[in-house]
Structure 1
Amino acid sequence: MEKPSILHLFTAAKNASPFDVNMAFDAGFDKIMPYTSVELAEVAGLTQDAIFSRSPSGVKREGIFIGGRDIDLAMQMLKAAKNAMFSPFACSVFADPSGAFTTAAAMIAKVETHLKAKFGEDLSGKTLSVFGATGPVGGCAAIIAAKQGANVQLVAHNSVARVEAKAQAWNSEYQISLQVVDGSSDEKKAGIVAQADIVISAAAAGVQVLSLQQLTQSRRLKIAADVNAVPPSGVEGVDVSHDGIQLAGTGIFGIGALAIGQLKYATQHALLKQMLPQDQTQERIKYLEFMAAFNLARELSNNQS
């Protein structure tokens, strides 16, 4: 009799995400076991408890999912879980804190797809300004875009020093060159937008960070993407259903929360299914994080276009 598939869900948060639990069941896991308020130092012990309780064939029907809200902590947890395992006692690990990795991956994949379709260009050398840059989605999107060659600006809406600290840490960790700009006033935001090829908004739900007037003052802006699905939109004029729709009276193309969300859902679903391959003996163990999510989201987005 085949052993049940089990997903062990580690999160530093007080509660496991119902979204992630539902996604794991829908992907095909038989059992999901959440572990909450998990500290980094506990990850190795939990991982070894999971893998040593089964035979090598049984371990291949397990997976570890890293949740939480902190993208840096999630990456540290993934590394700790990976380092605690050794062949043949090893299983796949997937980090996606607050869905940030798959959401950011979907957002940048959509930007890339429409930039190519509408302008025949890619992200290399483009100035991309991130509003809501210190949140998990904004920060992760910034890192992904920078890795694709974009000149990424993290927009600080109050504390420049706080954002600079984030940028310095990410630049060191991922060998990129994020810049920080002051967006603490409408005038400063307008100046940022005027020099950007792409703007993305990952600010708090229901908060408008850019007006249509600020967008239309720019002569070089090509793409505006917004993950906010709660009215008002984070970027005025970008509807939640926009998927490369030209904003009226402009040369700007909008990407809204539903278009990003649908690709995010498909990406997370597919990555979870990759942790349960049909032929376990032929599949390599996978360690899935934001770049794995982006590579898959890019593939899915290109297939949709």
Structure 2
Amino acid sequence: MAAKAILHMLSTLKHMSPFDVNMAVDAGYDVTIPYTNVTLDEVVPLVQDAMFSRAPSAALRTGIFFAGRDAVLALDMMDAAKKALLKPFEVSLFADPYGSFTTAGGMVACVEKLLRDKKQRDLKGASIVIYGATGVVGYSSGVIAALEGAQVTMVGYSGLERVQKLAEEIEARFGVKVKAADGSTQEHVRRLLLDHEIALCAARAGVQVLSKDDLEAAKNLLIAADVNAVPPLGVEGCGLHDNGKVISSHGALGIGALAIGNVKYGAQSGLFKKMTTSDKPLCLDFRDAFALARELV
């Protein structure tokens, strides 16, 4: 009889996301166990307990999931877990804090496909502005796009200091440069839009980032993508299900939150399934989420 597929779900928050639990079970895990308020120094003993409590033959049926709401901390936790792994007890690891890695992967993959199909362009060399860049989805989107060769500007709604530190951390960690910009006023938001070809809106739910007037002023804008599904939506005139709808008289195209969400859902489910069926231990993060999202769009 095959060993049961067990997923240990570690979150830095008070609660584990029910969304993630449902996704894991529907993807094939028999048992999911949430651990909340987990700190970085607790990761190694938890991972070792999960490893050494099962025979090596059950290692591939054991997974560790890193949740929470901090992309950098989730990556740090996964790094700590990697160092704790020991053959032949190696288990699979997957980081997707607040669903941000799979959401970001889905958003950038949708933009890339539309850019190629409708604008005959690639991500490499494209100028991208990211609103809400200090959040987990904005952060992850910026890293993915920069690694693909895009010229990325990360915008912070609370001023320049916080987003500047974020840009420096991205360069130090991933070896890519991104610009930091102040988006604390609507004038700043519009000025940045005028200087870029692609806008990724990852601001807080219920916050309109770009108005119709902003879109009309941006003559060089090719695509605007929005992950906000709570009215008012982040991009005025871009519906939840839109995927290539013209949203300005200059031909800019819109991608809505549920169009991105469908890809995000498939990517997260697909990565969980890979963990339960792989013949080798996996370590999955935003790069894997983007790679799978590219296959799904």
TM-score by length of 1: 0.95
2-side partners of 1:190 and 1:218: how far apart?
Answer: 8
- 2:291 partner amino acid: N
- Aligned-partner SS, 2:289: helix
* Among 282, 287, 295, the residue aligned to 1:286: 282
Match of 1:230 in 2: 230
Match of 2:242 in 1: 242
Count of residue pairs the alignment pairs up: 297
How far does residue 135 in structure 1 lie from its aligned partner after superposition? Answer: 0.3
2-side partners of 1:80 and 1:186: how far apart?
Answer: 41
1:177 aligns with 2:151: no
After superposition, give the CA deviation of every residue in 1:167-187 in whole Å (9 maximum; x if it has no partner).
111111111111012222222
CA contact (8 A) 2:244 2:254 kept: yes
- 2:283 partner amino acid: Y
1:194 aligns with 2:194: yes
After superposition, give the CA deviation of every residue in 1:232-280 in whole Å (9 maximum; x if it has no partner).
1111111111111112533100000000000000000000000011xx5
1-side partners of 2:58 and 2:181: how far apart?
Answer: 51
2-side partners of 1:127 and 1:181: how far apart?
Answer: 14
Match of 1:34 in 2: 34
- Aligned-partner SS, 1:130: strand
Match of 1:155 in 2: 155
More displaced, 67-76 or 189-198?
A: 189-198
More displaced, 184-193 or 265-274?
A: 184-193
Match of 2:294 in 1: 298
Over 3 Å counting, the alpha-carbon distance change for 1:109 and 1:125 in structure 2 is same
- 2:282 partner amino acid: K
1-side partners of 2:156 and 2:103: how far apart?
Answer: 21
- The list of structure 1 runs, each at least 4 consecutive aligned residues, that deviate by more than 6 angstroms after superposition, is none
CA contact (8 A) 2:215 2:248 kept: no
How far does residue 86 in structure 1 lie from its aligned partner after superposition? Answer: 1.5
- Aligned-partner SS, 2:117: helix
Match of 1:216 in 2: 216
Match of 1:89 in 2: 89
Over 3 Å counting, the alpha-carbon distance change for 1:99 and 1:209 in structure 2 is same
- 1:210 partner amino acid: L
Identity rate, percent: 47
Match of 1:143 in 2: 143
After superposition, give the CA deviation of every residue in 1:95-136 in whole Å (9 maximum; x if it has no partner).
000000000000000000000000111111111000000000
- 2:294 partner amino acid: R
2-side partners of 1:212 and 1:160: how far apart?
Answer: 26
Let me know the Cα RMSD of the aligned residues: 1.0
1:131 aligns with 2:131: yes
1-side partners of 2:290 and 2:132: how far apart?
Answer: 19
- 1:38 partner amino acid: V
CA contact (8 A) 2:129 2:155 kept: yes
Match of 2:168 in 1: 168
- 1:130 partner amino acid: I
Match of 2:73 in 1: 73
Match of 1:204 in 2: 204
More displaced, 101-110 or 231-240?
A: 231-240
Match of 1:260 in 2: 260
- 1:293 partner amino acid: A
- Aligned-partner SS, 1:63: strand
How far does residue 288 in structure 1 lie from its aligned partner after superposition? Answer: 0.1
Unpaired runs of at least 5, structure 1 = none
- 1:296 partner amino acid: L
1-side partners of 2:248 and 2:70: how far apart?
Answer: 37
- Aligned-partner SS, 1:276: helix
- Aligned-partner SS, 2:173: helix
Unpaired runs of at least 5, structure 2 = none
1:25 aligns with 2:8: no
How far does residue 12 in structure 1 lie from its aligned partner after superposition? Answer: 0.9
